[in-house]
Amino acid sequence: MTLSKEVIAQLAEHVENAELNKKAITKITDDYPDMDWEDAYAIQYAIRKRKQDRGTLIAGLKMGLTSHAKMKQMGVETPVFGFLTDYGSYADGAEIDTSNFIHPRIEGEVAVMTNKTLKGPGCHIGSVLAAIDFVMPAIEIIDSRYENFRFDLKSVIADNTSAAGYVTGSNMKRIEELDLPTLGVVLEKNGEIVELGAGAAVLGHPAASVAMLANMLAERGEEISAGTFIMTGGITAAVAVEKGDNINMRCQDIGSVSMRFV
Ligand code: OOG
Ligand code: MG
């Protein structure tokens, strides 16, 4: 840690206010170039605590920057994790108020629900497959609180990995009915295909992303408890959306998930 408790608290308030006021800020590493990974996650956890203290429930966890499409798009190479809030949850087919966001983008993902505790270090695909109850197609809405969606890893970790919302499909499949690496997804905006990919884009296997999450949490003495909803990370690059856009993602063998920005 290089930052004092006071600075961590100040930065948490600053970054969270950007979300609450929907006003972009400059990335925090511009002012604190020496901040380290621990500082970055400390700011994220302080934001999480601020929300919980106001009554927000943590609805799940997310991995980010787990695919080459995303790493390339954002110019970074290490996966990161964040949390999902109750107020970020939207139902399949939802009309989403675009004014809730600064400059929203959407990503096609695979989401899973666990039914056993997952604990690192040494968590691997095998333990994850044995702990996944079911799989759902999901779209994440990301909205960096930084100007022009430009950031480095430490800034984006502090900003809860740009998490802003998520829409889950209405259907699910048992894990044993699917081959996650070859699971295809097609993302459409206003009826046109804008991105496509397969589960293997996510660290070779979306379950590997969950294993990595368990191992990253283990470094903090934490685990993934049974019954956790997890977004495993964008399969495709993120797509900018604006008011009036209709989004639909078709996911092989599971069904589709859609939403409309109003
Ligand atoms: C960071 C969040 C990335 C994903 O699925 O890769 C992410 C960002 O690109 O703003 O959620
Ligand atoms: Mg994502």
- Residue 260 pLDDT > 90: yes
Summarize pLDDT for 67-119 with one digit per residue, the tens. 988 888 888 888 999 999 999 999 999 999 999 999 999 999 999 999 999 99
Asked if residue 48 has its Cβ within 6 Å of ligand 1, the reply is no
**Residue 239 Cα to ligand 1 middle (Å):** 11
Nearest ligand (C-alpha, residue 64): 1
* Closest by CA position to 230, among listed 144, 115, 124: 115
48 pLDDT tier (thresholds 50, 70, 90): very high
Asked if residue 250 has its Cβ within 6 Å of ligand 1, the reply is no
Average pLDDT on 158-165 reads: 98
Asked if residue 79 has its Cβ within 6 Å of ligand 1, the reply is no
Average pLDDT on 119-136 reads: 97
Q: DSSP secondary structure string, the chain?
A: --S-HHHHHHHHHHHHHHHHHT--B--GGGT-TT--HHHHHHHHHHHHHHHHHTTPPEEEEEEES-BHHHHHHHT--S-EEEEEEGGGEE-TTEEE-GGG-SS-EEEEEEEEEESS-B--SS--HHHHHHHEEEEEEEEEEE--SBGGG---HHHHHHTGGGEEEEEE-S--EEGGG--GGG-EEEEEETTEEEEEEEGGGBTTSHHHHHHHHHHHHHTTT--BPTT-EEE---SS--EE--TT-EEEEEETTTEEEEEEE-
pLDDT of residue 178: 97
Ligand 2 ion: Cβ-proximal residues, 5 Å cutoff: 64, 107, 140, 234
Mean pLDDT estimate for the chain: 97
pLDDT of residue 68: 84
pLDDT of residue 44: 98
Nearest ligand (C-alpha, residue 234): 1
pLDDT of residue 75: 83
pLDDT of residue 72: 84
CB-CB contact of 132 with 220 (8 Å): no
- Residue 252 pLDDT > 90: yes
- Residue 261 pLDDT > 90: yes
pLDDT of residue 110: 97
Asked if residue 145 has its Cβ within 6 Å of ligand 1, the reply is no
Query: What percent of the chain lies above the pLDDT cut of 70?
Result: 100
**Residue 86 Cα to ligand 1 middle (Å):** 19
Summarize pLDDT for 188-240 with one digit per residue, the tens. 999 999 999 999 999 999 999 999 999 999 999 999 999 999 999 999 999 99
Residue pointed to by tokens 């608290």: 9
For a substitution probing ligand 1, which of 19, 72, 74 has the most ligand atoms within 8 Å of its CB?
Answer: 74
pLDDT of residue 46: 98
What is the total residue count of the chain? 262
Residue with the smallest CA separation from ligand 1 atom 7 is 64
Residue with the smallest CA separation from ligand 1 atom 1 is 161
CATH architecture group of domain 57-261: Alpha-Beta Complex (3.90)
Nearest ligand (C-alpha, residue 144): 1
Average pLDDT on 174-198 reads: 97
**Residue 172 Cα to ligand 1 middle (Å):** 23
